[in-house]
Structure 1
Amino acid sequence: MRYQEHLFQQREGLLLAAARQLFQAQPWDRVTIAELAQQAGIGKGTVYKHFPSKEALYARLVLDRSQQHLQELREVARQAPAGQAMRQVIQRAFAQLLADPLQAQLCQLCDRPAFQARLEEDCRAQFITLEGQYLALFSELLQDSFADLALTPEAGQTLLWGIEACFNGVIARIASGGFAHWAEPIELEAYFARVTDFIIAGLHGQAAAQHRAPIPHE
């Protein structure tokens, strides 16, 4: 790697680290590019050489952290005892989000169609690739969990929709601050344990039902 390329990557890393520090200390949508440049110790104009907009910065933060999370989930799946991979991956995914509420908030932002439309084509393609990687992981987990049922692609897709819906609910709950504002606050880790039980039970029930009565083709 040439020196200039190394310097560019190093500076970009400083910007991303500075952004996370600022976003943890104050509402992320109120942080200005000038504040980010000052935190990173570089000129304001230099920020735009790395990130043409705040949306591009948000997207990069989400993409980088999501890739880290995905690698960890793959390792959890690889090391899990037989029959426990799906449960352990779901539990770890919830723990990842709980440990990083900022990621949950930015994930919600980046999932909006209007937000995606403002990104450059290459960045949008990275989100599509990331989504495909997560779907591939959970599809593999489903096939391993229900190998005896020989799930059809249609049945597998239906189960994936259910998993996605539950995950979106958990992301929204974490992004909103949990249950502290409720009249009777609920401890989040206990909540996630129950949601995990719900997902696993639902997957088994739906998989068995669809195995008995395959989805008709229209």
Structure 2
Amino acid sequence: MEQRQNPARLNFEARETAILAAARTLFADETWELVTIDQIAVKAGIGKGTVYKHVTSKDELYARLAIAIDKDLLEKVEAIAERDPPLVQLAAYIAAFWTLAALPAPESHLADYCGRASFRRRLPVTMRAEWGALEQELRDRLLRILRQGVSEELIEPKSDDLLLFGVQAALAGALRLAWRSGAGAGRPERADELARFIISGLATKQGRKALKKTPSLAAD
């Protein structure tokens, strides 16, 4: 029997969606840090007090938008076919991350800002836990791919920490470079180059041979 959703819950979720949509629209400007809760409430068509039922500060609102970006990324990562060879899966994972390079400037600035440890510490414990769990899912999927590559002797065996560190550091650096230079949007060939760079640093001799036989790893 199909369960009916609670109307109050639906209304709460609809208001939250409206708040985030209004904030995203207002933040689509280089002066996004000057946007006020009052402006967001007016744009969303709801009272200022109602906004504060969903978030207690602008920091929480920034975090909600950044979490939404990570949720969208996780959907892309979860769509990677686990039946594919591990190097192809890894390239697809890298390509999914590279889609963040095409975020509009204000949104990428927001994501960069929200990634700071000092910002995270200001968030409520529950929100930090929610975000941390989401990031852990992204790490876990990456680690499964890397471990599969190790088991098939395509990736050099290392500790989990070192396997993750190299890939995550390269991805974080590439994204920040793209956000600052505007080099990400409309440049899918860079995803392929980034994938080859990262995988070459991890691959065994057998893995590098497999890499050479693949004309384009991340074109899709």
TM-score normalized by the length of structure 1: 0.80
Q: Residues 60-107 of structure 1, C-alpha deviation per residue, up to 9 Å, x if partnerless?
A: 111122112112211124364564111122112202442455553333
Tell me the equivalent position of 2:210: none
Alignment RMSD (CA, Å): 2.9
Map 1:99-118 → 2, pairs under 5 A: 99=103, 101-118=105-122
Q: Relative to 1, partners in 2 of residues 1:161 and 1:22: Cα closer, same or farther, differing over 3 Å?
A: same
- Cross-structure match for 1:139: 143
The separation in 1 between residues aligned to 2:32 and 2:143, in whole angstroms, is: 34
Task: In structure 1, list runs of 5 or more residues that go unmatched.
Answer: 181-185, 209-218
Q: What is the count of residue pairs matched by the alignment?
A: 203
- Structure 2 residue runs of 5 or longer lacking an equivalent are 208-220
Residue 171 of structure 1, CA deviation: 2.3
SS of alignment partner, residue 82 of structure 2: helix
Pick the aligned partner of 1:47 from 47, 51, 54.
Answer: 51
Q: Which residue number corresponds to residue 202 of structure 1?
A: 201
Higher relative contact order (CA 8 A, sep 6+): 2
Q: Which 4+ runs in 1 deviate beyond 6 A?
A: 150-153
For 1:33, the equivalent position in structure 2 comes to: 37
Q: Which residue of 2 aligns with 1:215?
A: none
Q: 1:102–1:175: 8 Å Cα contact kept in structure 2?
A: no
Partner Cα separation in structure 2 for residue 207 and residue 30 of structure 1? 53
2:61 alignment partner AA = L
> Which has the higher mean CA deviation after the structures are superposed, 100-109 or 167-176?
100-109
Mapped partners of 1:64, 1:2: distance in 2: 23
- If the length of structure 2 is used for normalisation, what is the TM-score? 0.79
Indicate the residue corresponding to 2:24 in structure 1.
Answer: 20
2-side partners of 1:110 and 1:200: how far apart? 28
Choose the corresponding residue for 1:7, options 8, 11, 21: 11
Which residue number corresponds to residue 211 of structure 1?
none
